[in-house]
Amino acid sequence: MKTLLKVTFIAAAMVVSFASCRENEEMTTEETAQEMIDNGDNVEVKEDKVKIENNDGSETKIKYDDNGNVEKIKTDDNS
């Protein structure tokens, strides 16, 4: 009976730990790009590119493909 109780407790602890780690999802590239655009100091929009000048002096360039999906995000530090 004690062995069954120990196994049940260990299994429950593992289930809880795996479930809590699963909730930390990374942002998609589209969400990252939108957050950068929202937080940018100066935003320039061209046909398939967005250029963002940040408050710290760095520039971020976001390039979109033909379908409107984020193709590349590049950050240049101008310090």
What is the domain partition of the chain in residue ranges? 2-76
Sign of the torsion formed by the C-alpha atoms of 32, 37, 42 and 45: positive
* CA separation for the pair 75, 62 (Å, rounded): 9
Q: What is the pLDDT of residues 32-72, one digit of tens each?
A: 777 777 877 788 888 888 888 877 888 888 898 888 888 88
State pTM to two decimals. 0.53
- Confirm if 22 and 35 have CB atoms less than 8 A apart: no
